[in-house]
């Protein structure tokens, strides 16, 4: 996001008769006695304090990087009513639900698919087979199943990843946790788990899918993610990749009309590898962010191929923060912008003074197909030590006229030639 919204009020108090809520009011709610009582009763004081700080950071973060003004009308906080009226920390409402028991999510369920996890309306749904010892033995934990110590461990881990917070993370209940156990090299690689992010409502919701995916030691995991947003939706997933583990993600986002905010945070322990391939077509407003905190001997590959359809918006923030030696990172993102598409890319490499041997590349190439498109790119390097090799590059241009002519001279009509060139760009 390249707009700093600090200077104007985010969310007016009324728009077309529907109530909207200022962020300050939201803040008032979560710092109110009622909220405090809920949290402390169900969890504990320390957690309340850190949640509070999270919320405050969230609000600032969202205010600064939130939606552009013309999208405000779509960001409807009317769900705040739900918050005021109900106890979102009431753990009785939660349970890991089996696919065949939750009717309202019927439409999301494909009965033939057995290795799928559905994250919907901040619930986690998974088929029974996933938690069975063979072949998966996944631990799928929601707040009712997670013990206090484990809980605090996660809180500490998340806290340590430097000020990254998200509004809804603070507001919604503690994340659902999916744990891939130690030492499985093949199980989750040969049979990738599918994860679907969805929301059931026709209205954008405040409660997002907050998830922690914990890939334990010496494990290789492959996940296929799909994101379907009917109305507005916020997803916030923290991926913890522990020592010597590998996590590969293939993510596809499809535009079903709604807007989408997806923050993915990766905490990479020494010796881990994370490879992500993602595709997005944008939406009325999409913000897809990736944050990496990498310790030592970590290998990160983030490859995005986004063909942003007419009139869609796609904004991206990528931050790789290296805090120790011998990390490698490749960020390679290509965007295609059609008529009236708006895209922005802000990428940041933050390399601290102990990141000796860091080797990084960042590439953002943009294909601008129409004069009505609006494309912005900002690759940033912030480096504190000389023992590194870091490059970045970006381009913005249209389809190459010479290549177009070449294909046309071979018999392709203009449209097909252009399509061919767009496809080859996105390879």
Partner 1 sequence: MTIDNLQNNLYKEGFVTELESETFPAGLDETVVEKLSKIKNEPEWLLKFRLKAFKRWKEMSEPQWSELDYNPVDYQALSYHSAPKKFDKDEIPPEIFETFEKLGVPLHERDALLGLDTEKPKPDNLIPTVAVDAVFDSVSVATTFKAELEKHGIVFCSISEAVQEHPELVRKYLGSVVPYTDNYFATLNSAVFSDGTFCYIPKGVRCPMELNTYFRINARNTGQFERTLIIADEDSYVSYLEGCTAPAYDENTLHAAVVELVTHDNAEIKYSTVQNWYPGDENGIGGVYNFVTKRAKCEGKNSKVSWTQVETGSAVTWKYPSCILKGEGSIGEFYSVAVTKGKQQADTGTKMIHLGKNTKSTIISKGISFGDSTNTYRGSVKINPGASDASNFTKCDSLMLQDSRALTIPYITSLNDSAKVEHEASAGKISEEQMYYLATRGFDEDDAMNLVVNGFCKDVFQKLPLEFAAEANKLLSVTLEGAVG
Residues 272 and 241: beta-carbon distance below 8 Å? yes
CB of 395 to partner 1, least distance (A): 5
Helix axes 45-65, 148-159, angle to 10 degrees: 40
Strand partners, 217: none
Among 2, 8, 15, 98, binds partner 1 (CB under 8 A): 2
Among 46, 391, 416, 424, binds partner 1 (CB under 8 A): 391
| Dist CA 141 CA 96 (whole Å) | 7
Q: Is 380 in the site for partner 1 (CB under 8 A)?
A: yes
Among 336, 388, 407, 417, binds partner 1 (CB under 8 A): 388
Site map (CB under 8 A) of partner 1, residues 329-358, x = contact: ------------------------x-----
Q: Is 397 in the site for partner 1 (CB under 8 A)?
A: yes
Among 151, 277, 279, 376, binds partner 1 (CB under 8 A): 376
**CA torsion through residues 152, 153, 154, 158, sign:** positive
Among 30, 268, 294, 368, binds partner 1 (CB under 8 A): 368
CB of 406 to partner 1, least distance (A): 18
Q: Is 244 in the site for partner 1 (CB under 8 A)?
A: no
* Cβ distance to partner 1 smaller for residue 90 or 370: 370
Cα first-last separation, the chain: 26
Among 101, 386, 410, 415, binds partner 1 (CB under 8 A): 386
Among 5, 143, 392, 425, binds partner 1 (CB under 8 A): 392
CB of 285 to partner 1, least distance (A): 18
Q: Is 323 in the site for partner 1 (CB under 8 A)?
A: no
Stretch of residues binding partner 1 (CB under 8 A), selected from 102-110, 226-234, 261-269, 390-398:
390-398
Stretch of residues binding partner 1 (CB under 8 A), selected from 77-85, 176-184, 195-203, 387-395:
387-395
Q: Is 46 in the site for partner 1 (CB under 8 A)?
A: no
* Cβ distance to partner 1 smaller for residue 284 or 374: 374
Among 390, 404, 420, 426, binds partner 1 (CB under 8 A): 390
Q: Is 373 in the site for partner 1 (CB under 8 A)?
A: yes
Among 146, 369, 417, 421, binds partner 1 (CB under 8 A): 369
Q: Is 408 in the site for partner 1 (CB under 8 A)?
A: no
Q: Is 7 in the site for partner 1 (CB under 8 A)?
A: no
Stretch of residues binding partner 1 (CB under 8 A), selected from 201-209, 215-223, 388-396, 413-421:
388-396
Residues 400 and 390: beta-carbon distance below 8 Å? no
CB of 100 to partner 1, least distance (A): 51
């Amino acid at each position: 996001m390249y707009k700093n919204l600090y200077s104007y009020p985010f969310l007016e108090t009324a728009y077309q008769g529907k109530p909207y809520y200022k962020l300050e009011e939201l803040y008032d709610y979560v710092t109110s006695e009622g909220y405090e009582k809920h949290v402390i009763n169900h969890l504990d004081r320390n957690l309340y304090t850190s949640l509070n700080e999270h919320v405050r950071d969230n609000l600032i973060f969202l205010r600064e990087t939130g939606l552009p003004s013309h999208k405000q009308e779509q960001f409807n906080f009317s769900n705040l009513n739900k918050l005021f009226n109900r106890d979102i920390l009431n753990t009785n409402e939660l349970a890991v639900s089996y696919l065949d028991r939750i009717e309202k999510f019927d439409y999301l369920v494909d009965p033939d698919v057995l290795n799928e996890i559905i994250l919907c309306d901040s619930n986690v749904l998974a088929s029974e087979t996933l938690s069975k010892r063979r072949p998966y033995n996944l631990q799928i934990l929601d707040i009712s199943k997670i013990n206090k110590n484990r809980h605090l461990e996660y809180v500490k881990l998340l806290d340590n990843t430097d000020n990254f917070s998200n509004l809804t993370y603070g507001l919604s209940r503690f994340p659902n946790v999916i744990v891939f156990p130690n030492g499985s090299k093949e199980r989750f690689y040969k049979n990738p788990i599918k994860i679907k992010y969805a929301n059931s409502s026709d209205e954008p919701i405040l409660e997002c899918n907050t998830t922690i995916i914990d890939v334990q030691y010496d494990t290789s995991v492959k996940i296929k993610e799909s994101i379907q947003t009917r109305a507005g939706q916020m997803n916030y997933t923290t991926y913890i990749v522990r020592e010597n583990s590998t996590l590969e993600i293939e993510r596809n986002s499809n535009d079903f009309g709604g807007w989408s905010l997806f923050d993915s945070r990766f905490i990479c322990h020494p010796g881990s590898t994370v490879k992500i391939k993602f595709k997005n077509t944008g939406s009325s407003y999409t913000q897809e962010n990736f944050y990496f905190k990498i310790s030592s001997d970590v290998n990160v590959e983030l490859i995005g191929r986004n063909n942003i359809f007419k009139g869609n918006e796609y904004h991206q923030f990528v931050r790789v923060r290296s805090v120790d030696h011998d990390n490698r990172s490749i960020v390679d993102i290509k965007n295609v912008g059609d008529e009236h598409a708006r895209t922005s890319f802000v990428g940041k490499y933050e390399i601290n003074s102990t990141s000796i041997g860091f080797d990084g590349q960042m590439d953002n190439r943009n294909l601008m197909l129409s004069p009505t498109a609006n494309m912005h790119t900002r690759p940033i390097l912030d480096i504190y030590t000389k023992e590194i090799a870091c490059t970045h590059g970006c381009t913005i241009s249209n389809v190459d006229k010479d290549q177009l002519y070449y294909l046309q001279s071979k018999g392709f009509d203009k449209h097909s030639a252009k399509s061919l060139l767009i496809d080859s760009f996105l390879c």
